[in-house]
A and B are shown apart, each in its own frame.
Chain A
Amino acid sequence: MGTRQTKILFFGDSHAHAIKNAIERRQESGNPVNIEAYRLLKIKNDQPFGDIDLEEFLEKTAALAPEDIVISAIGGNQHAVFSTIQHPQPFNFQLNSNDFLENDPETQIIPARVLRTHFTAGLAGRDGKTLQAFRASTAAHVIHLMPPPPKEDNAHILRHHETRFRQENISQLGVSSPKLRLKFWQLQTSILRSICDELDIQTMLPPDQALTSDGFLKPEYYAGDATHANTRYGELVLQQIEMRSKQIAREPQRLP
């Protein structure tokens, strides 16, 4: 009797694009990967965009066995929406007690717990509900992939950015400090980790190889916009998923 191959389903918003491209490239190179990736179906400019909606994906996850894996990459850009454009009233926050708070009278300090309240409400309301639906739908392992960290290069962001940032006048207002953007990503990651812990969902950080020593996304993994990573990054994530899959296979089987 042959060993059953672990089934891995991947589902995400825009960050799924890099993963799907990486899977395609693997297939083209004759080294296919055992991951089915789907991008959430949305309507943009009256045109459908993506593969399947959440309900359809949940039907797929419901059919999985306990040893299978669901990878979530839903949401992800909330930190960037909040922190990419330089706000006319500069602000800063302290991520934790080790984070040095510069004394700049022009910069308003927002207490960390105020921001955490706001982000937690937003993330728990949207991504949290989707993650809850994943968890409730399946006996399989569920892993949430954290979004790629911000890009340190402000010039890149000014040259290449999403329509949303153009509409919000990024070229006039400018780009916020990379340090602030990284802190927002770290805040989001920490909140998502708490949400996932409560839901018995594992988390997966961005691959170390893709990060600078300060924790930004390395330029070679930039996609051509302000927030997304490219196919090479997607390939690193695929390798990470494959490695995690092997680890899970070695673990004692989880009870449904």
Chain B
Amino acid sequence: MTQHPYKSLPDKAFWRRSVAAPRPSDVDPVGLFDIRIEPDTKVATAGSCFAQHIARYLKSSGFNYYVAEKGHPILPESTRNQNNYGLYSARYGNIYTARQLWQLFQRSYGAFAPEEDIWQEADDVFLDPFRPSAQPGGFISEAEMRADRAQHLAAVRHMFETLDVFVFTLGLTECFRSISDGAVFPICPGVEGGVFDPARHEFYNQPVDDVLHDLEQFIDALSRINPAAKIILTVSPVPLMATAEPEAHVLASTTYSKSVLRVAAEMLRKKHNHVHYFPSFEIITGSFNRGGYFADDLRNVLESGVSHVMGLFMHHATASQVQEKQKETVAQDMDTHMARAQHLVEVECDEVALDKS
């Protein structure tokens, strides 16, 4: 019988055996993922709204979910949660694009100071354009906003310098930026704050080269300040709320955006030993689940989908003791996940504001 390379491949290399045949809840598309998270590994998170699920699971799983900006301990946890402390490892809100992440890093080290750096909404309402939803109701003055931002950026620096693992969920390629200095905003000016001005703001849809360039710079800079840091990249499965690409359909724009991000993640994983890829995108969007992980709006991810993602994440990344515990939980979730009520998990997603009709 003829020998060929496919003969010796494991089941996961074959569509029928690993995607079509198993029960949906048993599909495990994780490829090479040789990173181990121990209970004392400091895991920091950032990214688009889907990253909040990762943060939430890590927090509740007994791992060292690393929060560098906790809010003052005199405040009870409920108040801190209400004010977005602990939503991510620092109070930066959603980071949708690779450019936003790279600029956050630069801003935290004083290497970039955007010109448009404050939005005044009322006499006593001031927003940070780079995290407009971070402080509910806004800051009461420019001085307060600047003081809070200074301590926020100090916390971001501290986080980058002391984390062990950085999980970054790539969300979008589309964004709006300042024409004068290229500062990208998490949400288009005028939507959640600020005023859109075509003379000052322009649409920017990142091509794959730019995403790669931004992430390469970030990876290099992080390695310099924290040589032991490892990075896990994921791609958010959440489709675009709206596209600003001229003449484009949002579905085609979503495919473009996610494809670019997925390609960039794969290229970086292959290039850097300390960069890993986790297939959240594939678990949620894979045809094996027949769209069953999306809510009725075909955009928000159901808890059953998040359970599948995080169950596999824990299974592959964590030490055996915790892993077994997680497996039990996940197994339970998987047994019932398709039949379970369409439970929608609340996440803070600024993008929703793009389509309020």
Contact = CB atoms under 8 A, between A and B. Distances in A.
Interface of A: 82, 87, 89, 91, 94, 96-97, 100-101, 103, 108-115, 117-118, 121
A190 to B, nearest CB: 12
A109 B74 CA distance: 12
Interface in B171-192: none
Interface stretch (B24-32, B47-55, B75-83, B240-248): B75-83
A87 B144 contact: no
17 contacts: A91-B74, A94-B140, A100-B143, A101-B141, A101-B147, A109-B144, A110-B74, A111-B135, A111-B139, A111-B144, A111-B148, A112-B140, A113-B137, A113-B138, A113-B139, A115-B75, A117-B136
Contacts of B82: 117
A114 B83 contact: yes
Nearest to B143: A101
Contacts of B147: 94, 101, 103, 109
A176 to B, nearest CB: 11
B151 interface: yes
A94 B75 CA distance: 16
B148 A118 contact: no
A118 B73 CA distance: 13
Interface size grouping (class) on chain B: 20 to 34
A118 B141 contact: no
A109 B151 contact: yes
Given A94-B147, A97-B123, A101-B141, 12 more contacts: A87-B73, A89-B72, A101-B144, A108-B72, A109-B144, A109-B148, A111-B148, A112-B140, A112-B144, A113-B136, A114-B135, A117-B82
Q: Which 4 A-B residue pairs are closest in the complex by CB-CB distance? A: A97-B141, A118-B79, A109-B147, A113-B137
Given A97-B140, A111-B148, A89 B73 contact: yes
A115 B80 CA distance: 10
Contact of B75 (A97, A109, A118): A118
B208 to A, nearest CB: 39
A110 B75 contact: yes
B49 to A, nearest CB: 22
Contacts of A103: 147
A5 B3 CA distance: 109
Interface string B141-174: 1011001100100000000000000000000000
Nearest to B74: A87
Given A103-B147, A109-B151, A114 B79 contact: yes
